[in-house]
Structure 1
Amino acid sequence: MNDILKQLTEIDPKLRKPFPTQDINKITEDFRTEFMKLPNEVDFYDDFHFYCMNIAGTLSYVLSDHINQIPQGQIDMLFQSFFEHYQYEFLEDRIANYHHFYQEYTTFEQARKLLLQLFFPTSNISSH
């Protein structure tokens, strides 16, 4: 557990980089047809922003020693990757072409998985 907390403390500053707006705009443009096929109105920017804020917010509870105050819905959201949660799985294997977005996503994914390990240390949690 201490190792996980140490890793989370080290990753915290990395979550405070500028948001990859240019890459998100490019993704939205490049995959406009795929986004239009989704059943709901899609706002990729807002979805990614909310997803990242959920992870950063959960981490802030952990680092300020307020784990017992984290809303259950916030923890529940950690069980799915961004692509699973928002039905963007068609993008998952294509995002490496968008460097800043990919870096941001990878960092938040690392934090998400560490948080799950912290909350559920004996579970065999999927590593999407």
Structure 2
Amino acid sequence: MNAILKQLSEIEPELKKPFPTEDINKICEDFQTDFLNLSGEVDFYEDFRYYCVNIAGTLSYVLRDLTNQIPQGQIDMLYKSFFEYHYQYEFLEDRLANYNQFFQEYTTFEQARKLLLQLLSNDLLN
């Protein structure tokens, strides 16, 4: 088994942990003023959920050996971290460690995202 694929297989159960709703609610409460200054269409909870779902969904294609069926838009989203894609939340990035569940979730999904990019880049080269 490819080393990257092995790592992704080991990470997969971590991606199925309960969503850090409590920490997200706390973040929204602690940074209420910052969130209010953003566009009315901004939804931190949904944006983070979508980021996680995209990574988990891509991983499911990979683990079922269906990489050729991953939608291109889904792959394109992997090229940016959550904070690169949702730059409006940059005020949070340096404070994530204060929210343990969220930080662990973010870190795990970032690790999976980077591994998926490596794997998919290797597949494209072969």
TM-score normalised by structure 2 residue count: 0.91
The C-alpha deviation readout for 1:29-73, integer Å capped at 9, x for no partner, is: 111111222245211111111110000000000000000100001
Counterpart of 2:68?
A: 68
Counterpart of 1:120?
A: 121
CA distance in 2, matches of 1:60, 1:111: 12
Aligned: 1:29 with 2:25 = no
Counterpart of 1:109?
A: 110
1:95-106 mapped onto 2 (5 Å cutoff): 95-106=96-107
AA at the equivalent of 1:69? Q
Counterpart of 2:53?
A: 53
Segments of 5+ residues of structure 2 without an aligned counterpart are: none
Counterpart of 2:42?
A: 42
CA distance in 2, matches of 1:97, 1:33: 18
Q: Which piece of structure 1 moves more, 59-68 or 41-50?
A: 41-50
TM-score normalised by structure 1 residue count: 0.90
Counterpart of 1:79?
A: 79
AA at the equivalent of 1:29? E
Segments of 5+ residues of structure 1 without an aligned counterpart are: 122-128
Q: Which piece of structure 1 moves more, 68-77 or 81-90?
A: 81-90
AA at the equivalent of 1:10? E
